[in-house]
């Protein structure tokens, strides 16, 4: 990876972008992608779209989502402790002893997830932490002091953990789900520009908001763009770590390439084009099967309007929805390359219908 790309990746991942409050991360992403696009627009809730060939009638989307899981302050006790609600799929099990940032109009307030010491607990009666039992301590001794810091019900809370590299092989941090996807589609736009590739269609590079609470940003922007084709990238579970049941979760490896999904929302001809592209370009890939839905923005695009030919290219990831989400460097490069090479094979007004 070139140094400028790595620097952006690190800055982008470290910047908080909680669901519903993605603005600052979106501004960073837009500034990075501006040199590689012809124009852009931002919708009411913060989804950003970079456009190449905006005058073209035939429209192709490449998309990732920008938001990360987080918490809301929900209740402040008289003694100054904070209880929370989830904003997306936050896992209270990983919360105790973690440091957090509470976002206020006065700036960041530091806090920690407190937890009673092992000395004072009856360990044999321990239960897993839940949203009802985890709490924040921001160093205040009263509700009034908490409020003086600028904290109120509805204040957003994100984990403090930042990006790192593990064994010169893995990228690790919070919110790789799915800002790493935003990074990859931005790199595709850069590669098209720097390699002077002229596409015969309009390309819409979409960094959508609010995926973590129901694919909401993708739903809105799909109706606005009305694309003909959509290629979505998101993360999927590496299943090699302990406690995965491969009979139900599949057999997916970090480091063995992009994951191409089969399922009702995935348009078969588009998926096959992606597979043929991987084979022709000698890009390693893996396969996965979805059930009724992929659970990603693919579903929102596929079923929008009169139906959009949509496919999902996933990045294997360890430890999803924790502060140590982990992906393999090679997979990041290969997902980026696969999206890029696929775009070069899509023809203007290509008809992906099964028959006509």
Which residue from 39, 309, 49 is spatially nearest to 182, judged by alpha carbons? 49
- Residue 237 labeled ligand binder: no
CA pair distance 180, 327, nearest whole angstrom: 9
> How far is Cα 350 from Cα 128, in angstroms, rounded to an integer?
52
Q: Calculate the dihedral angle through the C-alpha atoms of 263, 18, 315, 312, rounding to the nearest 10 degrees.
A: 30
3-state secondary structure of 212: coil
Q: How many helices (H) and strands (E) does the chain have?
A: 9, 17
Task: Enumerate the β-bridge partners of residue 101.
Answer: 110, 158
Concerning whether 325 is annotated as a catalytic residue, the answer is no
* HSE-up (13 A, CA, CB side) for residue 320: 16
- Could you tell me if 236 and 251 are in contact, meaning their C-beta atoms sit under 8 angstroms apart? no
If you write DSSP's letter for every residue of 224-290 in order, what string do you get? HH--SEEEEEEEEE---STT--HHHH----TTS--EEEESTTS-HHHHHHHHHHHHHHT---EEEE-
How far apart CA 54 and CA 336 sit, in angstroms, is 22
57 in a known ligand binding site: no
168 labeled binding residue: no
Active-site position among 22, 68, 187, 211: 211
Q: Identify the CA nearest to 232 among candidates 182, 289, 163, 293.
A: 182
Strand segments (E) across 29-179:
39-42, 48-52, 59-65, 70-76, 81-87, 99-104, 107-114, 135-137, 156-159, 164-166, 170-173
Instruction: Flag whether 328 is marked binding.
Output: no
Residue 196 annotated in ligand binding: no
Q: Is the peptide bond before 243 cis (omega within 30 degrees of 0)?
A: no
Extract the annotated binding site. 65, 177, 212, 234, 321
Extract the annotated binding site for Zn(2+). 65, 177, 212, 234, 321
The catalytic site residues sit at: 211
């Amino acid at each position: 990876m070139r140094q400028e790309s790595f620097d952006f990746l690190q800055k982008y991942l470290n910047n908080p972008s909680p669901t519903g409050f993605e603005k600052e991360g979106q501004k960073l992403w837009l500034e990075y992608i501006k040199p590689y696009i012809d124009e852009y627009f931002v919708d009411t809730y913060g989804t950003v779209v970079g456009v190449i060939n905006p005058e073209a009638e035939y429209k192709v989307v490449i998309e990732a989502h920008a938001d990360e899981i987080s918490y809301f302050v929900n209740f402040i006790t008289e003694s100054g402790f904070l209880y929370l609600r989830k904003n997306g799929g936050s896992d209270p099990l990983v919360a105790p002893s973690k440091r957090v940032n509470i976002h206020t109009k006065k700036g960041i307030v530091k806090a920690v997830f407190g937890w009673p010491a092992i000395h004072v607990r009856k360990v044999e009666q321990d239960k897993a932490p839940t949203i009802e039992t985890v709490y924040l301590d921001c160093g205040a001794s009263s509700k009034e002091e908490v409020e003086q810091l600028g904290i109120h019900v509805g204040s957003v809370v994100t984990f403090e953990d930042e990006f790192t590299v593990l064994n010169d092989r893995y990228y690790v941090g919070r919110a790789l789900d799915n800002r790493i996807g935003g990074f990859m589609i931005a790199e595709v736009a850069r590669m098209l520009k720097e390699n002077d590739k002229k596409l015969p269609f309009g390309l819409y590079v979409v960094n959508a908001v609010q995926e973590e609470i129901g694919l909401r940003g993708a739903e809105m922007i799909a109706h606005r763009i009305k694309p003909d084709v959509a290629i979505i990238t998101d993360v999927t579970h590496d299943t090699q770590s302990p406690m995965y049941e491969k009979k139900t979760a599949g057999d997916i490896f970090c480091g063995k390439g992009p994951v191409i999904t089969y399922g009702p929302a995935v348009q078969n001809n588009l998926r096959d084009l992606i597979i043929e592209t991987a084979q022709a370009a000698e890009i390693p890939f893996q396969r996965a099967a979805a059930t009724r839905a992929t659970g990603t923005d693919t579903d929102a695009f596929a079923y929008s309007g009169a139906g959009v030919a949509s496919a999902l290219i996933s990045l294997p990831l360890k430890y999803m929805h924790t502060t140590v989400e982990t992906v393999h460097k090679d997979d990041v490069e290969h997902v980026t390359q696969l999206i890029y090479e696929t775009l070069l094979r899509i023809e203007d007004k290509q008809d992906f219908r099964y028959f006509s």
